[in-house]
Homo-oligomer: A and B are copies of this chain.
Amino acid sequence: MEPVSTDHVAALRHFNRYFTRRIGALDDHYLGQDRPLGEARLLFEIGDGVSLRALRARLGLDAGYLSRMAKALETQGMVRITVHPDDNRLRMVELTPAGRIELKEQNRRANALAAGLLAELDPRQQEQLTEAMATAQRLLRLAGITVELVDGAAPEARACLDAYAADIDARFPEGFDKSDLVRPEEVSGDAGAFFVAYEEGRPVGCGALRRLKPGVGEIRHVWVHPAARRLGLARRLLAALEGEAAARGFDVIRLDTHATLTEAQAMYRASGYTEIPAYVDHVYADHWFEKRLP
């Protein structure tokens, strides 16, 4: 947790007030042009055939409420409701052609609204606005991500490692074999630690710390979900791992990485790691780094 100046708090609140009043309110308005907002949102979320069950989970709606809204959209001719072929309890909802047209129209209106707003700005200003919003969004996303210590055997931990494995299997010319992953017991309890980063409840990154030998820890499997890259999350994970290593009394942290992962190497160097000779024979490593903890 970092200290927060009241100036920044005031700035965030000020922007929030301005933005929701100026833009957010407009948005609601266009969406619910000729249809209640709930139905409009639902229409928007029905891509190409979803089950009511999935919609309920995704939008967090009450079963009865959803059932009624779906039926309303059906009588309006916007969607078709069918029984799931394999499970007769489930209902599938899909857009009719009319629904698709309606959605497109909704989209068109929203675009026209945004374009009308932007048209008052010259191209350079438009560019600046887009860039400022991208920066703000990147930082707000990062602020919403929490890094938590979990058990190495926890399902999210394994899910992250599986995603990590699949990810680098595609990137390494020689592929990647899962047997190289840390075993749960290596990164749990006294043996080590495992951190998972969550964004809105979903795991979007991980990192493992294990004891290499007395006083020496090893960081492994620092991974960030493709959709959460370029936010600065890897650094946060690294900081969490280093903090944990310091708390466990390690003096030195080591890690290895692969030649193809150039961004990772740059990050390690920028974080105070220096390249060292091979300290362990990992199949997939060809660069080794070390950092002395203060």
The answer to the question of A2 belonging to the interface, with a C-beta cut-off of 8 Å to chain B, is yes
B residues less than 8 Å from A140 (CB atoms): 18-19, 22-23, 117, 129
**Docked CA distance A157–B137 (Å):** 40
CA distance A139 to B121 in the complex (A): 8
Q: Which residues of B contact A16 (CB under 8 A)?
A: 23-24, 27, 114
**Cβ contact within 8 Å between B114 and A15:** no
Q: How far is the CB of A231 from chain B (nearest CB, A)?
A: 10
Known A-B contacts A2-B121, A129-B136, A139-B125; A19 and B24 likewise in contact (beta carbons under 8 Å): yes
**B15, B129, B144: which contacts A117 (Cβ < 8 A)?**
B144
Assuming the A-B contacts A2-B119, A16-B23, A16-B27, are A11 and B130 also in contact, with contact meaning beta carbons closer than 8 angstroms in the complex?
yes
Please report which residues of chain A, range 17-73, place their CB below 8 angstroms from some CB of chain B when the two chains form the complex: 17-20, 22-24, 27
Chain B positions within 8 Å of A14 at CB level? 137
- Rounded to whole angstroms, the CA-CA distance of A8 and B145 in the bound complex is 26
Interchain CB contact (< 8 A) of A125 among B20, B144, B232: B232
Is the CB of A142 closer than 8 A to any CB of chain B? yes
Query: What distance in Å separates the Cβ of A10 from its nearest Cβ neighbour in chain B?
Result: 8
Contact of A12 among B5, B114, B128 (CB under 8 A): B114
The listed residue with most B CB atoms (<10 A of its CB), out of A3, A114, A135, A145, is: A114
Q: How far is the CB of A47 from chain B (nearest CB, A)?
A: 15
CB-defined contacts of A181 to chain B, threshold 8 Å = none
User: What residue in chain B is nearest A44 (Cβ atoms)?
Assistant: B17
Task: Please measure, in the bound complex, the distance between the C-alpha atom of A9 and the C-alpha atom of B114, giving whole angstroms.
Answer: 6
Q: A122: nearest residue on chain B (CB-CB)?
A: B2
With A7-B130, A13-B110, A130-B7 in contact, do A142 and B118 touch (Cβ < 8 Å)?
Answer: no
- A125 B142 Cβ-Cβ under 8 A: yes
Q: How many angstroms between the C-alpha atoms of A237 and B125 in the bound complex?
A: 16
A18 to B136, CA, bound (A): 11
Is A111 at the interface (CB under 8 A from chain B)? yes
Q: Answer yes or no: A123 CB below 8 A from chain B CBs.
A: yes
